[in-house]
Structures are given as structure tokens and as C-alpha cells.
Amino acid sequence: MTVAHSTARTIGARSGGFVLSILLAMFVAGCAIRKPYVPPATAPVALTEATAPAFNEQAYDPRWWRLFQDPVLEELEGSALAANYDIRAAVARVEQARAIFDDVKLDRKGQIAGTALFDRHSGREGQVTLINGRTQPELDIAAGQTERWRIVNACSSRYVRLSLGGRPFRVIGADGGLRAAAETVTEMLLAPADRVELAVGPFEDEGAEIAIESLPYRRSLMKVPRRMSWGTLRVGRRAPSVVSMPAELATIEPLVPAGPVTATRTVRLGAKMTLHGHDWLINGETHHQDAPVKVGELQVWDIVNETGLDHPFHLHGFFFQVVAVDGVPTVPRAWEDTVNVVAKGRVTIAFRADDRPGPWMYHCHILEHHAAGMMGHFNVVRV
């Protein structure tokens, strides 16, 4: 914090030419090529096998699905619920928790800090971490039970490489609802705006304290990655558990046939130096005005990151499938509206716009980049 503030004051006191020199050095230093983040897989963890209880409408809280959508899209809630219908009975008695991860940047007086010059480059990261508005909360889970966690990364720019003390957990949902199948991992990368649904537990060691933490993740050479503590999960006394999870959670029909993928549009994420720091660009301009999208027409977009930093690409109003990474076709496992595009990387997405004509947008969800121009506008039009 001290270095960042000191740097901002020093740069502010220099001439415009010196500012450009510093920014050029920052920009060049950030131009590193990295491979996409892949979470390490582990052997599956067996759940307690039992007959699924009868569906309890009160136990299933549909308000959660609003976290999977933009506020203006409440009409999509029905389709999200339909995608989840097959396993509602299976999880009706499972404990459920929502966790909103956020951070706050404070000045030396403990007040909300102003925006520094460096924040425009790498995004604003706070030194105080919060889960549901609380610092370092202590959460409880009964031994032998599995809980369903719904997590949102609400940070302005901080990436959360989530770990529960290195213990395995299962990823069962993404931005747009359930995944095709659960995936057992020991960590999960959440870019800003990412939403994820996890099956956490069962843990057998009563009295254990499990760290809820973020492991180091290098999204830019200008940011030194650090391990961050978010809270503690305490394993309490054993309690009865009735859990069943089908092998297939949802049916994800690919929008694009198997094989090479041909894009219908290219969205280039770029930057240029200015006297006030950086402008962040879409296809060479700030707040890019993109071509219209026709209702029902298959859209295949290449998102190309030409910068030295990761960017979480967020599409408003529509869920997409990731169909290729760096030109290599992938099998879509979930519906998403946010995907991380690593420095110098490329992600190809596919979606169809339904019949909701009008203006929509996409942008980098590092909010300082969004504000500085890394945003595109397009109109959905009827044929």
C-alpha cells in the first residue's frame, strides 16, 4: 500500500513525458504470454449414498439464481430453475450457503481510499477481504455433512484462487446454472464477476479448522501474487446427512459441432498509453460500437487478449458456451456469461440471442478497465 501511494504521488509530481516513460515501462513489463489456468483435478470423493428425499419447495430457494444473472434478467429465472429441476429433490435437505467475496481498499486513516493512478492500470485491490460484508468470518459445517455453497466474486479486480485448506470440493454450477457434471478439484479460480456453485464436504475430522483462502495467482507481471486469508471453516459435531447426486447434473447441448471452429466476429482487447494512464480498448477504441446481432442467429466470437494482463470478459444478457481456447476446440461443460482471457490468450464463445431486441453490451469486469473504455455496445435486432 505504501509503495503504491508513494508511486502515485511521485508520478503525479512529474512532467507528462516522465509519466509516459513510466507507463511504457509498466506496459512492456506486463506483456507476458501465459497458459490458461487449469485447476488440478483430484480423485472423486464419494457422497453418502441414500434415496433422495421428496422435493421440499420451501427448502429450495430460487432467489439464488438471481446471482447468476444481471438484475434486468429476472425473466430468465424460469429457465434457470428448469435446468436445475432434476436435482432439486436430491439437494432439498442439503445445507445451503451464499458467499459474496469482496475487498475494500482503505487509506491510512481507515477511510475508503481514493483511486490511484496505478488502479487504472491493474485495477483496484483492497487490503481488507470480506465474505458477506464480514472480515475473517468463522463458518461452521457439521462433520459428515455436505453443504451447497453459492459464491460470487464481487471484487473490482481481485482474482480469487479459492482453496479450502487444500481439501477437495466439487464444482457443480457456473454463471448460468448447473454444469453438465460435477468436477472434483482442490482449488477454483474465480475472476471478477464469476459465480460458482460448490458441494463442500463431507469432512470427517470433528474440531478441525479449515482455512478459506485465495492462493497466489499472477494475472499481471505488475502485480505480485500473494496468499490471502478470507476466513475459517470449523468442522463441528457430527450430524446426520442425506445426500445423493446424479452423475449428470444438466444437459448442455453444444451450439457448435465438433471440429474446427470458425468465428463470426473478433473482439480484440487492447490498450494505449495516455497522459492520464491507460485507455483500455475494444477493437482499437474506447466504448466500441459493435455490429448488430440478429435474434436467433448463431454467434461465434473470438475474444483476443492483446495485452499483458488477464481480462474477465463479461457478456450482458446472454449466456454462452466456451467452444475453444487458444484455437483448440473444447467441449462446453456449462453456460457462462463471464470467462477469463489470459494475457496474450484467446477464448472462443458461442451463443444465440433470444427475442429481446435492443441495446446490450460486453466489457472487461475489472471495473477500472471497464470505466476506462474496455467496453463494447451492440444492438439485438429482429431479422
Please list the residues that pair with 106 across neighbouring strands: 112
275 close to 232: Cβ distance less than 8 angstroms: no
Between CA 263 and CA 275 the distance in angstroms is 35
Which neighbouring-strand residues pair with 99?
A: 151
For 77-115, write each residue's pLDDT tens digit: 332 333 333 333 344 445 678 899 999 999 999 898 888
Give the strand order in the sheet containing 95-104: 128-131, 95-104, 147-153, 195-200, 169-174, 177-185
Segments of 73-120 assigned E as strands: 95-104
191: helix, strand or coil: coil
Question: In b/e form, how buried is each residue of 198-207, taking b as 16+ CB within 10 angstroms?
Answer: bbbbbbeeee
In angstroms, how far apart are the furthest CA atoms of the chain? 71
Q: At 28, is the secondary structure helix, strand, or coil?
A: helix
220-251 residues labelled b (16+ CB within 10 A) or e (exposed): bbbbeeeebebbbbebeeeeebbbbbeeebbe
Task: Confirm if 267 and 355 have CB atoms less than 8 A apart.
Answer: no
Question: Contact 29/37 with Cβ under 8 angstroms?
Answer: no
- pLDDT for res 42: 42
HSE at residue 33, side-chain half, CA atoms within 13 A, is 3
Length of the chain, in residues: 383
Q: How does DSSP classify residue 51?
A: P
Q: Exposed/middle/buried for 288, CB within 10 Å: 0-12, 13-18, 19+?
A: buried
Which sign does the torsion angle of CA 141, 146, 152, 157 carry?
A: positive
Cα dihedral sign, 322-383-68-183: negative
- Could you tell me the CA-to-CA distances from 249 to 86, 99, 354 in Å, in that order? 7, 22, 24
Report the chain's C-alpha Rg in angstroms. Answer: 22
Q: Do the Cβ atoms of 365 and 312 come closer than 8 Å?
A: yes
- Quickly tell me which residue has 508520478 as its cell: 11
Write down all domains in the chain, each with its CATH number in brackets.
Answer: 62-236 (2.60.40.420), 265-381 (2.60.40.420)
Question: pLDDT, tens digit, for every residue of 228-281?
Answer: 999 999 999 999 877 778 889 999 999 999 888 999 999 999 999 988 778 999
Rounded to whole angstroms, how far apart are CA atoms 140 and 101? 17
What pLDDT does 94 receive?
54
Strand partners, 153: 101
- pLDDT for the residue numbered 40: 52
Chain centroid to CA 93: how far?
27
Sheet strands (E) in 165-318: 169-174, 177-185, 187-190, 195-200, 209-214, 228-236, 265-274, 277-282, 288-289, 293-294, 298-305, 311-315
Sign of CA pseudo-dihedral 16, 17, 23, 27: positive
Cis ω on the peptide bond leading into residue 202 (within 30° of 0)?
yes
Q: How far apart are CA 193 and CA 340, in angstroms?
A: 10
Going residue by residue through the chain (383 aa), what tens digit of pLDDT does each one get?
Answer: 333 333 333 333 333 444 444 444 444 334 444 444 454 544 333 332 222 222 222 222 333 333 333 332 232 233 233 333 333 334 444 567 889 999 999 999 989 888 887 888 889 999 999 999 999 999 999 999 999 999 999 999 999 999 999 999 999 999 999 999 999 999 999 999 999 999 999 999 999 999 999 999 999 877 788 999 999 999 999 998 777 788 899 999 999 998 889 999 999 999 999 887 789 999 999 999 999 999 999 999 999 999 999 999 999 999 999 999 999 999 999 999 999 999 999 999 999 999 999 999 999 999 999 999 999 999 999 98
